A and B are shown apart, each in its own frame.
Chain A
Amino acid sequence: MKALLICPSIRPAVPQLAEEGPLVTAPILGECLVCHWIEHLAARGAREIRIVASDRVDVVRAAVGSGSRWGVRLEVVSVSFEPTVAEAVATYRLRDETPVQWLPAPLDVVLMSHLPGCPDLPLFESYAGWFAALLAWMPQAITPVRIRVSELLPGVWVGRRARLSPQAQIVAPCWIGDQVFVEPGATVGPNAIVEDRAVVERAARVAQSWVGPDTLVGQMTSVSHSLAWGSSLTNWQTDSSLRVPDPFLLCSLARPLSALATGRPGSRPGSPARVTDTSLPPGAPFGWIAAPAGAAAPKLPRQANDPSL
């Protein structure tokens, strides 16, 4: 059967959520919104899904791939503006002359402004709405195809490769994603969502909040009633947003320190030469950062453009 998904374009109420990518690729409990929808439709029999996107289409395409992961065939269509559901039905469904059937309404054409099964909880009308929708979605986020997260205690979902210190305090309900690291003395919950690969350092607290993927919550900091993603901190009660200037309080682990200093877009982790101090000369070996204070600086390998050569 066929289905069509409409990606919401920019929503002025939640600009922070669209900073890193289009809204449908914003991370929600370890997956992006569009992936949650594809999984939902595939489980209901969809085999051909067309995705209509107007904002950063390449990012959407990269996020969903070919669809083989869900056993469906995906096509991402670029459009200049976001169509309404009625327009999409008229354009794509009513003109479809192929014999393949469509999923029954309302799953045939879906505007992804909410999570599957939660039409009463709009995601993009306010930060408070986003957070409320994620909390409501938590118990439904575990599906048979998701094996990386399990419910350790009632109301406590933890990723299989997460590392929680025995001295950390975990308070239900909360979600701790895959490869998250919670250090001793830290408190996570209640009503906390910590996305994949985040680090909650010693004695930090996360409550009534969402922490985005690859985010460092520094020692002794308290993230409360907020959405924290990289160095962005948004209070979902007041809609006030702040770019935290000091990386030891809150920062992204997915981009190098040099990018934090200059505002340049970062790269994914795994490029160690760029994670080092920006004062290092180009081409300096990564080992420099581990050299003890006062130790003689190692000689740099000669570069091809070295005039002394």
Chain B
Amino acid sequence: MKIQNQGQCLTISEIPELTAVNSAQFREEVRAALPEAPPVIEIDLSETRFVDSSGLGALFALYRAAGEDDGITLRLLNPKPEVQQLLELTQMEQLFEIVQR
């Protein structure tokens, strides 16, 4: 996983999967980066092939943490169709701004 602070945007990318195996690590690393987070956080899911409920939980935790600061915009970038389906199934697509670039 790669976390890049690009001034106005914090980008989290290279996430091959978001599951029970790595969701805790994802949470900790992103949370550690949050205090200095710029107003936009983008999670690049273009390489993410598999997400389970733990991964969804990690995304939701990030949503809540970001929600504590009204100024932060959270975006999911380029989710694969399967991941998009899971977000729709769990109605989490209503929480995030999903962008295809």
B49 to chain A, nearest CB (A): 11
Secondary structure at chain B's binding surface: helix, strand, loop or mixed? helix
Minimum CB–CB distance from A5 to chain B (whole Å) comes to 35
B46 → A minimal CB distance (Å): 15
Contact A245 B85 (CB under 8 A): no
From residue B95, how far is it (CB to closest CB) to chain A in Å? 13
B82–A240 touching, CB < 8 Å: yes
Is there an interface contact between B91 and A233, defined as CB atoms closer than 8 Å?
no
Q: Is the CB of A233 within 8 A of B85?
A: yes
Q: How far is the CB of A69 from chain B (nearest CB, A)?
A: 37
Closest chain-B Cβ to A172's Cβ sits at a distance in Å of: 23
CB A212 to nearest CB in B, in angstroms, measures 15
A249→B89 contact, CB < 8 A: yes
Interface size class of A (residues with CB under 8 A): 10 to 19
How many chain B residues touch A (CB < 8 A): the figure is 13
With A222-B91, A233-B89 in contact, is A245–B82 under 8 Å at CB?
no
- A-to-B contact residues, CB < 8 Å: 220-224, 226, 233, 235, 238, 240-242, 244-246, 248-250
A-B contact pairs, 19 of them (CB 8 A): A220-B90, A221-B90, A222-B90, A224-B88, A226-B85, A233-B85, A233-B89, A235-B81, A235-B85, A238-B81, A240-B81, A240-B82, A240-B84, A240-B85, A242-B82, A242-B86, A244-B86, A245-B19, A249-B90
Q: A221-B89, A242-B86, A249-B89 are in contact. List 4 more A-B contacts (CB 8 A).
A: A235-B81, A241-B82, A242-B82, A249-B53
